[in-house]
Chain A
């Protein structure tokens, strides 16, 4: 090799021609890239300008919020009647009992706040001791919820579950379904992957049975058949019946979500733990399940979303959940004719919860993907 070598002369970086960077290039590329692209852009702009401003006028700028009865809204028909929602908000959120006893509304509010305080740290990635927080949420919180909202202890006046309603009921149904279905679903998922043929077939039949039937049929069954299943004298509250139906239904979906996680864990893990001389339950509880559950969280959250939406079906069997109260209010003499506002409010509440959960599950999924790719 020759000793005299040329030094590498680096050509300094330049900025690209102005028309290929910045917002001009971006607009050109993403909105007016080709003839068809331009036509699509123009069409969508046209549609947006046609519909969005009138909608905003109606929903925001001309909307009514003042006053306490329909006269305000009847005078100004060009805007939405949020007065209605404002006046009925207690019913929509907490149901009959707490509307009749306004001095008691602190109870559901406290329950919601405590729930939020437990949930928010769980969602944040860096929180330590998540396991304990989760256990608190699914074991201690229901006790807390029942004693605060249900009352009858610590001198808190009792409120009958059949008089809960609105978002409170929706929340209670979904929460119970989610929490009780989790252990059941895990057992079923393990059963479906068991080496014992009878356990496996029973699990499959159970899971496919509930998944094959629409929830509304199951709720009918729960409300009509459940009392028939037990000797007379055993009575169930309507709400409890719905909870049982929902839990059985949900457990099948949870099982499928967990099974997805179990499948994703490779055989090596099982073999390694076998080699350590662990028994089936030891393996499952300490090695397999923690990993499988971590992988299946996004799918499990997706089943939560589905369930949260599905709780609205209880309105068909006569429970006063958020949707039913919205519908009833918009049919009451005081407010009839303001259906759109009622459904929009209920829809918005449902949407916020479901969209939030869906963002969360998408985020986890992306994270799991990148973890897998960098492993």
Chain B
């Protein structure tokens, strides 16, 4: 067959090349012209797109910044961005921890053999995952917490935690003597290391003789006894600052302001409904045959749960649950509705309105979330690879 120019257009490779070249051209041209128009339009409005505003002082107040100091009149825009990012990560971490516990609890109820527990868990899941998260955040914050939580004087007490209309007051640890504290930390780490060595030894002994020890409880009590006695011997280098009720409000301790508390609460409940569903699916993915096999070789119920059901169901539970963690992080941006100062609120909203630097600010916000998303896929890929190695 001759490759005359007449038949070239029938050649699939040639056609593919043309299509792709056209696509590249179109996309880049579209981006270029969008960028041009945007910069031009911004300049029309007197805004020169440039990151020089990073070092300008932000003219508004960020009330909640537990990690970086905020001071009205000196804090710059770029630091506001960091504060926003850290606040997002804070609520994400708090939410992930709580949602995991609650989600597993509900999911296990959902798979229990108690009919009532199963139904209650099912209703919980169906109610909370089928309503908009934003609505739930607003409901808890405005309709319940703001409306019904008492003023500081009559705070609800949970041990050293106090909940009132302004938020949740928590105890925080305070380092009294930094050198002794470091010594104490060293002792604690040492005791943990020792208990790991003990565990290794116990495992080797177990493999050789079959005699098992209650390794977990021994190492735990060892670590706890050592840490506590070292703590008192070193003269209490760390104290806990417990919030105390002053004249009008609490003094000392830490505070999760009400918006953060509501957001955390709603995110936890919403996400736990999804995690519970993952857990249920994971547990029911363990086939009946596996359970029968485990019973037929004489494993007790708890051995079966520990060695057959959990390892197998975790493989089904973990990947979608990691995706839920990412969703939770993205969903924390709904904080705006209740006024928690995370990255979208302080950066993509307030800072953008103040400076008009739409291009840079939106890009940075998106990059931050894309980074979280890439990080999540990275973890997921690693996990899947590991599973594949051990299974196939």
Check whether chain A touches chain B (CB < 8 angstroms): yes
Known: A40-B116, A213-B330. 5 other contacts (CB 8 A): A229-B34, A232-B44, A312-B135, A330-B143, A343-B142
Is the pair B147, A339 in contact by a Cβ cutoff of 8 Å? yes
Q: Looking at chain B, what size class is its interface with the partner chain?
A: 35 or more
CB <8 Å contact, B130 and A343: no
Whether A40 pairs with B112 at a CB distance below 8 angstroms is: yes
Contacts of A45 in B (CB 8 A): 116
A70 to chain B, nearest CB (A): 16
Chain A interfacial positions (CB closer than 8 Å to B): 30-31, 33, 37, 40-41, 44-45, 48, 195-199, 202, 208-209, 211-214, 216-217, 220-221, 224-225, 227-232, 305, 309-310, 312-313, 315-316, 323, 327, 330, 337, 339-340, 342-344, 346-347, 350-351, 354-355, 358
C-alpha spacing A208/B377, complex, angstroms = 10
Asked whether, in the complex, the Cβ of A315 is within 8 Å of the Cβ of B344, the reply is no
Please list 20 pairs of residues, one from A and one from B, whose beta carbons are closer than 8 Å in the complex, sorted by A's number. Answer: A30-B115, A31-B114, A31-B115, A37-B114, A41-B114, A195-B16, A199-B23, A213-B330, A214-B331, A214-B369, A225-B38, A225-B358, A230-B37, A232-B41, A309-B131, A313-B134, A337-B147, A340-B139, A340-B144, A355-B130
Q: Which residue of B lies closest to A206 (CB)?
A: B27
* Interchain CB contact under 8 A, B336 and A350: no
A354 to chain B: closest residue by CB: B130
Contact B38 A40 (CB under 8 A): no
Contact B114 A214, beta carbon cutoff 8 Å: no
| CA distance in complex: A155, B339 (Å) | 46
- A216 → B minimal CB distance (Å): 5
Of the candidates A211, A309, A350, the one having the most CB atoms from chain B within 10 angstroms of its own CB is A309
B159 close to A (CB within 8 Å): no
Determine the residue in chain B with the shortest Cβ distance to A194: B16
Give the Cβ gap from B238 to chain A, nearest Cβ, in Å: 38
Pick the contact of B366: A197, A202, A213, A313 (CB < 8 A): A213
Chain B hits for A358, CB < 8 A = 126, 130
> Which of B37, B135, B331 is close to A346, meaning CB atoms less than 8 Å apart?
B135
Q: What per-residue 1/0 map shows which CB atoms of B326-368 lie under 8 Å from chain A?
A: 0000110110110000001000110010000011001001100
Residues of A within 8 A of B5 (CB): none
Q: Assess the A208–B373 pair: CB atoms within 8 A.
A: yes
Contact status of A327 and B366, CB under 8 A, knowing A31-B116, A305-B130, A340-B144: no
Q: Is the CB of A214 within 8 A of B37?
A: no
Q: How far is the CB of B350 from chain A (nearest CB, A)?
A: 12
Contact yes or no, B116 A220, CB < 8 A? no
Q: Is the interface of B mostly helix, strand, loop or mixed?
A: helix
Nearest-CB residue, chain A, relative to B21: A198
* A114–B26 CA distance with the chains assembled, in angstroms: 41
Within 8 Å of chain A (Cβ to Cβ): is B24? yes
Indicate whether B293 reaches chain A with its CB closer than 8 angstroms: no
Tell me which of A214, A230, A339, A344 contacts B344 (CB under 8 A). Answer: A214
- The A-contacting residues of B in range 6-45, CB under 8 angstroms, are 16, 19-20, 23-24, 27, 34, 37-38, 41-42, 44
Assuming the contacts A195-B16, A196-B19, asked whether A217 and B116 have C-beta atoms less than 8 A apart, the reply is: no
Fill in one digit per residue for B208-236: 1 if any A CB lies within 8 Å of its CB, else 0: 00000000000000000000000000000
Q: Are A315 and B134 in contact (CB under 8 A)?
A: yes
**Contacts A37-B113, A212-B370; A220 near B132 (Cβ below 8 A):** no
Of B114, B132, B369, B370, which one neighbours A30 at CB under 8 angstroms? B114
Q: Is the CB of B139 within 8 A of A343?
A: yes
Residue of B44, B333, B344 with most chain A CB atoms under a 10 A cut-off: B333
- Tell me which residues across on chain B come within 8 A of A202, comparing CB atoms: 23, 27
Residues of B within 8 A of A31 (CB): 114-116
CB–CB B23/A214 < 8 A: no
Task: Specify which of B16, B34, B369, B373 is in contact with A217 (CB 8 Å cutoff).
Answer: B369
For the complex of A and B, 7 pairs with smallest distance between CB atoms: A212-B373, A339-B143, A30-B115, A354-B130, A214-B330, A198-B20, A312-B132
A188: min CB distance to chain B, Å: 13
A310 neighbours in B (Cβ, 8 Å) = 132
Q: Are A41 and B116 in contact (CB under 8 A)?
A: yes
- Least CB separation from A200: chain B residue: B20
Chain B 291-332 against A: per-residue CB contact (8 Å), 1 yes, 0 no? 000000000000000000000000000000000000000110
B127: contacting residue among A195, A313, A351, CB under 8 A: A351
Flag if A355 contacts B358 (CB, 8 Å): no
Residues of B within 8 A of A347 (CB): 131-132, 135-136, 139
Residues of B contacting A312 with CB < 8 Å?
Answer: 132, 134-135
Residues of B within 8 A of A33 (CB): 113-114
| Chain B residue at minimal CB-CB distance from A357 | B130
Beta-carbon contact of A355 and B19 below 8 Å: no
User: How far, in Å, is B135 (CB) from chain A's closest CB?
Assistant: 5
Asked if B138 CB lies within 8 Å of chain A CBs, one says yes
CA distance A354 to B130 in the complex (A): 5
Residues of B within 8 A of A232 (CB): 41, 44
Shortest Cβ distance from B335 into A: residue: A216
Assess whether B374 is interfacial by the CB under 8 Å rule. Answer: yes
Let me know if B133 is at the binding interface, CB within 8 A: yes
Q: How far is the CA of A310 from the CA of B41 in the complex (A)?
A: 30
Which chain A residues border B23 with CB–CB below 8 Å?
198-199, 202
Q: Least Cβ distance of A372 to chain B in Å?
A: 16
CB closest chain-A residue, reference B109: A40
Which positions 94-116 of chain B face chain A at CB distance < 8 Å?
Answer: 112-116
B197, CB-defined interface residue at 8 Å: no
Shortest Cβ distance from B342 into chain A, in angstroms?
Answer: 11
Q: Known: A199-B19, A212-B370. Is A30-B130 also a contact (CB below 8 A)?
A: no
| A21 vs B117: C-alpha distance when bound (angstroms) | 22
Tell whether B120 is near chain A: CB-to-CB under 8 Å: yes
Whether B117 and A217, one on each chain, are in contact in the complex, defined by CB atoms closer than 8 angstroms, is no
B-side contacts of A220, CB under 8 Å: 344, 348-349, 352, 362
